[in-house]
């Protein structure tokens, strides 16, 4: 029996296929429950130019979901206000790690490592449907995801550009690194506890760098 098992693993390696159980870990994580109570949370936003703290309540009406704790809104620039509006818009979706599932092609993702509790996969990320600009970026990135084997959920998610690329004629991305670490709520779902983005490049002959970190903490059952 031991020789048969070894033979199957060797065959999988030679043919490029994977044992069914290995692929089921990812399938189960992508199909994990998404329903449950709504949580409010504290958001810490950090970039080289700006730091802010806010309380976010996704159960409230759009435009009323964020309570700024610091600094005063009068100190927020246009870019920060735009980021704040994006957080308000997606407060109930982007907070959850399951929101990354739409980027993961289950059938073509490759198992690259595993432990007793987790499995790690590599893949080419899926673009937003019908978004040609997003597709130009995603096809140049390599994605990775860590899932739990026995308690299906996404635990970590990442996107990285292995080399510089041109998403448009007048632009070049030199560095692209996105990473998200997840933590569990009491009901078993995972949320983004820490999100980091580092993008640099040039557009229209101008260099740019974008770095930001977002930390979500102090979860509470939401009350309108």
Count H helices and E strands in the chain, helices first: 4, 11
Sequence ranges of the domains in the chain: 22-221
φ/ψ (deg, to 5) at 151: -125, 80
**96 against 82, higher pLDDT:** 96
Distance, CA of 106 to CA of 103 (rounded, Å): 9
pLDDT, mean of residues 73-82: 84
Distance, CA of 209 to CA of 176 (rounded, Å): 10
State the pLDDT at residue 224: 67
pLDDT in tens, 31-48: 998 999 999 999 999 999
Mean pLDDT of the chain: 89
Res. 76 pLDDT band, cuts 50 70 90: confident
Distance, CA of 10 to CA of 13 (rounded, Å): 5
CA 19 from centroid of its chain's CA atoms: 26
Which residue, chain included where needed, has tokens 């490029």? 16
Q: Structure pTM?
A: 0.87
């Amino acid at each position: 029996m031991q020789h048969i098992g070894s033979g199957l693993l060797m065959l999988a390696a030679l043919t490029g296929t994977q044992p069914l159980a290995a692929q089921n870990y990812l399938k189960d994580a992508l199909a994990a429950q998404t329903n449950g109570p709504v949580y409010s949370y504290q958001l810490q936003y950090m970039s080289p130019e700006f730091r802010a703290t806010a309380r976010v309540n996704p159960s409230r009406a759009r435009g009323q979901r964020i309570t700024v704790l610091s600094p005063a809104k009068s100190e927020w620039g246009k870019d920060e206000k735009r980021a704040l509006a994006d957080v308000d818009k997606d407060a109930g979706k982007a907070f959850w790690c399951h929101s990354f599932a739409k980027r993961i092609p289950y059938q073509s993702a490759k198992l690259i490592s595993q432990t007793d509790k987790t499995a790690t996969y590599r893949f080419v990320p899926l673009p937003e449907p019908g978004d040609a600009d997003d597709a130009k970026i995603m096809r140049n990135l390599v994605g990775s995801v860590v899932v739990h084997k026995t308690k299906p959920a996404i635990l970590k998610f990442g996107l990285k550009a292995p080399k510089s690329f041109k998403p448009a004629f007048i632009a070049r991305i030199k560095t692209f690194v996105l990473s998200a670490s997840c933590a569990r709520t009491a009901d078993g779902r995972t949320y983004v506890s820490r999100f980091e983005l580092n993008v640099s490049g040039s557009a229209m002959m101008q260099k740019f760098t974008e770095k930001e970190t977002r930390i979500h903490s102090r979860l509470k059952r939401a009350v309108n």
